[in-house]
Structure 1
Amino acid sequence: MGDADVRLMADPRLWLRGRFGLVALGIAVICAGTDAAVMLLFGPPMNKWRPITLLIAAIVVDLALAAPPRWVAWVAGAHAAVFILSPLLMPGRPATEPEVNNFGALIAAFLAGAWLRNRPAGLVLAGLIAAGVIGHGIERDPQSGWDLIILTSSASILLPGLVGRLTITHRTYLADLERRTERLTREREIAIREAVADDRGALARDLHDGLSHHMSAISIHAGAARLALADSPPGGAQQALTSVESASRSAMLDLRRLLDLLHGQPEESDRQAGLGSVEELLVGVRAAGLPVTLTVTGAERELPASLDVALYRIVQEALTNALRHGNGDNARVNIDYEADAILVAVTNGLGERPAAGWQTSMGRGLAGICSRVRLFGGEVGCGPEGATWQLRVRVPLDAE
C-alpha cells in the first residue's frame, strides 16, 4: 500500500474530497439502488414493518460502502450482520428470493481484499462467509446439504476478495515502479550535475595552472625587459620581449584549447601535454630566470592520459609557485617510476616570505594539486625542508 493510500485511510476528509471517494460514493449508490430494486421487485410485499426494516438496513449498509478505507472492516461486519438479520426478520422466505444485500456484500468483500492487510482481510472474508452460511442455515432448510451452501457462500465472498487483493497488488507494483523511476531519475540528475561540476572543476584547474604559469612568466619577462631598456643593453631587452611573446602565445593556445573543449570541439592535434613535455616546460621556466634541472629514474612507462596530464599540470603549478615565491635558486624536478607507483617531487629555494605565508598565498594552486592527486588515490606532501620548499606527489599506478 502506497503513502497516498495510507494518507487516505488516515484522513477521511482527503477521501471524501478525492476522486477515490467520489467513485466509492457512486458504487455505494448503485449497490443500494440495485439491492433495493431487487428486494422491491422480487421480495416480499412492503406492507409490514419487518420487510421495511430489512430494506432500510440493506440500503444503509450499501451506502456505508462509500466510507473511507479505515472503516472497511466495520462495513463488511455490517453486511455480515444483515446476512444473519435477514432470516430472523423474514423467516421462511422462499429459496428463489435473492439476498437483500447481495450486491453490497460482493463489493464489501472486494474492498476488504483491496484495502486491508493479509490477516485482517482474511478474518473479514471468513466472517462474511460464516455469516452467509449461518443466514442460509437459519432461513432455509438445506435440503441439498451444507456442502453446497458452504461452497456457494465461500465462492461468492472469496472471488471478489481475491480480485480486490489482486487489484491492490497490481496498483502497489505500479506505484513501486513509479517511485523507482523517480528515484533513478533523481540519481541520474544528481550524477549529471556532479559530472558537470567535476568537468568544470577540471577545466578551472587547467585554466589556473596553465594561464597562471604563462602569466607569471610574462610578468617576469616584462620586468626584465623594463630593466634592460632602462640600462640600455639591447640584447637583454630583445630576449626578454621574445620570451614575453612566446609565453603569451602559449597562454592563448591553452585558452583556445580549453574553450574548444567547453564548446565540445576538441582537436586531436591539440592533445594536452604530459610528462613527456616537461622538458619543454623547463625551457620556458629557465628563460624566465629560474634555473631548473630534471631527473628521471626508474623504467619509464606509458601512463593513462588523464594521469599523465594531471602530473604535468602539477609540475607546472609547482614551478609557477617557485617563480612567484622562490628565491631564484636552482630548482629540481625529480620523476621516479617505481614498481607500482610514480613519484614526482619539485624542490626550490625559499624566498624571503615565510613558508607558512607562501603556503597560504598559493590558494587555488595547492588546492588544485590536492584535488588532482585525490582523483587518482594518491598522496600529497609539501612544506619547507631547511632552506628549500618541496612538493612530493605519489600516485599508485593501479589506481586507474
Structure 2
Amino acid sequence: MSTAAVSTSPGPVPDASEVFTFARDEIRSAAAELWPGANVEMSAHIPSVTGYVHRIRVGGRELYAKYSFLGMSLVSILRGVAGDWAEVQRAQAGYVQRPDALLVREAAQLRLLADLGRPRVCEAAGLARGVLFTVPVPGPTLAALLLRDPAGTAGLFESVFADLHRLHRSRTVQRLAPAGAISERSVAATFQRKFNGISGQTYLSRLGAERCAEADRAEVTALLRAVVARLHRMRPTALAPGQAVLTYGDLKPEHLVFPDGPGGRPALIDPGLLTARSSVDAAKLISRTVLLLASARPGAAAAEEIVQGLGAFAEQRMRPMAPKAARSWLRELLIVWLMDTVNILTTFLSAPAVLSLPPRGRPLVERAVAVCTMADRISTPLGGGLDVHRMWDTALAQATAVAG
C-alpha cells in the first residue's frame, strides 16, 4: 500500500488530530451551553467520511453529537480542499453563524418531518455552536434485519416506502422552502461535482493512493473512467424535467431503524430532504443495500434472496404506473443507483489513511475491483439503449454476483 499523500491543495493539509480535537471541544462547549451544569461525558467516536460524529452522555442522557466543517466532507477537509487548518478555522468561525449552515438545515428538516408525522424520524435534542444533538433510536437497523432475514427484504422495503408516502405526495413539496433543501446530498449533483472536467479526471487518477494495492488501483481507475464517461452521457436523463417530489435524500440501510421490530414502523435518521424525481429514494436505498451485500458477503443463498426482494420491491413500485412511465422510472433508478455507488466508493478510496472508515468502508475498498466491475457491466448495456427491463435483470444478476 502506498503512503504517498494525495492533496488537491498546494499548501499543507489540516492535521487530523487537530481537526478532531477541535470538533470534540466544540461538542463539549455546545453541550455546556445548551445544558448548563449538566455532567458531560464523551463516549465513542463514530467513524464517518462526512461529518464528525460522537456519542455523548449529558446529565445521564445518551445523545449523538454531529459537527460539520464548512458543510464539506471530512475527506475534503483533510485533503486540503478548503485550505490549511488556519484557513479552515477562520472560515468555520463564520460558517457556524450562517442560517444556511448544513446542520441548521438538517435540524429544521427534522422538525419539519416531526410535524408531518411520517416518516418517523429521530428527535433533534438541540443545536448550538454548529453542533447538532439527536436522540438515539433503539432497535435493529434495516441492514441487520436484511442480513438476519433475507426473505423479508421486499416487505421491509415496502414498509419503509409506505412511511415515505406522505413525503412523496406532490403537495408536500411545498412544505420545504428551496433554501431549506440539502442539495449537497443530491446524487446527481454530487456526481457532477466530483467528476467534472479536468479536475474530475485528476481526482480519478489519484484514487486509492493510500488505500489500494497498485495493481488494484490501475484496474479500478480504468473501470471507473469508463463508467463515469457513460454516466456523464446519461446524466441529463436523471435530471430531465418532470414531476418532482420531496425526497428523503439520504436513505441507507444502517440509518433506518425498526424500534418495534420488523413488523413496526421504521424510524429514520440523517435527513437530506431535497426536491427530486420519485426514483431517487428507491435508487439510493438499493445502491446502499447492494454495497452492504458487497461488503458483508452474506453467502450465495442469502444474497440471492435479498436481491430477489429488491426486484420484487421495484416491480411493486412500477405496478400502478403506465408502461412508458415505468420504463422511465426504472431507467432513472438504474442511473442514480450507479451514480451513488460511484460517489460513495470513490469517497472511501480517496479518504486519507488517518481517517477511519465506517465499518462497511474497509471491506468495500478491499473489493473495489469487484464493485467497479459490477458498475461497468451494468452501465455498458444501459448506455446502449437496450430494453430497460432486460437491463434491470442484468443489474440484479450483477448485484447477486458482487455479493457472492
TM-score (norm 2): 0.24
Larger RCO, structure (CA 8 Å, separation 6 or more): 2
Which has the larger helix fraction? 1
TM-score (norm 1): 0.24
